[in-house]
Amino acid sequence: MFLEEVYSKYSFQTAIEAVQSRNLGDVEQALNKACYSEKLSFGDYLSLISPLADSFLENMAELAHDLTLKRFGKTIQLFMPLYLSNECRSSCVYCGFSYENKIPRKTLHYDELEKEAEILKSQGLEHVLILTGEAYSKTPVSYIAECTRILRKHFSSIAIEIYPMDIDRYKTLIEAGVDGLTLYQETYDPDTYKEYHLRGMKKNMEYRLNAPDRGGMAGFRKISLGTLLGLSHPLGELFFLGLHLQYMYKTYWKTFLQASLPRMRPAKGGFQKVVPVSDREFLRFILALRLMFPDLGLTLSTRETPDLRDNLVGLGITSFSAGSKTEPGGYQGSGALEQFEIEDKRRLEEVIEMIRSKGYDPVIKDFDRALL
């Protein structure tokens, strides 16, 4: 398991210092290897996420562009999130769904889910990501499995971004029709994790750290990792995300891996203690991930501005969310129950038009469970 075999060998401060110890020669060496399509070492990756790599961003961008074209072609996969519930028994001080926040709570009934699915399907999309808060009694595995069976009638690919589960429960969802697992660690910094997760099962950092392992053992076709930038030092976060991806590639080599770097957005509760990550730093991290992991899917959400999302087409990103609503019933409702504010409020058809204007093909379907 990642916690025992890898994570426990490093402290968060040691991780930061390891990145900060890189020098310009290290960065140049890493880029030279990337230029000749040589496999990068983890030390090379640390060089590329270090601030010193800012002097080479144009070179990194060219290499990342070429590598993405080689591995993925001129395509951007599109998906839409579908929130089943905003019920939550965990207290995460940065989240709009946090238990302490006095907001209306809602879990979709099956007929309401059908209506949401019909609205999404009418837009032509085939990939959907279903999400919940952490309220196991309100959204047990049996409920999520039934929701999956309903959605299978409408969509060819269904992924989940829900609370961590054990292997058997993950297998139950796979049997129901789920093919992808998204599970962001939020932060790899144990002190910050303890400070920001005050109650509920999400307080158990160790259980969350090993959830991607359990997903790999259960047999998900694709698994997405990530860290929420803004909670702790970004260099430490990228160090451990890189380690986690490296471990997952070695251990679950049949699984298609993806990653995302969502940045903090305003949410109910007014969390303000954000460690800022600039657009330049964000770009550096995206490029470094692409050069280190050539076959990694990289997802960009509607947390980012339209301009930034437009400009990152062709620079390593392979997947976009679009037309997103972040509350249960959001495709029918008012937006009063949202988890966080989104930046890119464009409709799906507007995002498709933008992608095509860049010379890329928007992909609405690249997998069908029926073919298995």
Q: Is the pLDDT of residue 266 over 50?
A: yes
Which pLDDT value is given to residue 336? 47
Give mean pLDDT, residues 195-209: 95
* pLDDT on residue 340: 56
Tell me the pLDDT of the chain averaged across its residues: 93
Contact in structure between 364 and 78 (CB atoms under 8 Å): yes
Average pLDDT of the residues in 125-141: 94
Note whether 55 and 30 are within 8 A (CB): no
Q: What is the pLDDT of residue 294?
A: 98
CA-based R_g, the chain, Å: 20
Q: Is the pLDDT of residue 35 over 70?
A: yes
The two three-digit tokens of residue 16, written as one number:
């930061």
Give yes or no for residue 269 having a pLDDT over 60.
Answer: no
Tokens representing 96 are: 């709009």
Q: Tell me the pTM.
A: 0.95
Whether residue 368 is predicted with pLDDT greater than 80 in this model: the reply is no
Question: Residue 180: is its pLDDT beyond 80?
Answer: yes
Q: In this predicted structure, what is the pLDDT of residue 95?
A: 84
pLDDT tens-digit readout, 288-297: 999 999 999 9
Question: CA-based angle 112:117:120, to the nearest 5?
Answer: 130
DSSP per-residue codes, 318-354: -EEE-S---STTTTTS-STT-SS--S----HHHHHHH
Percent of the chain scoring above 70 in pLDDT: 94
Calculate mean pLDDT across residues 331-354.
77
Q: What is the mean pLDDT of residues 261-269?
A: 74
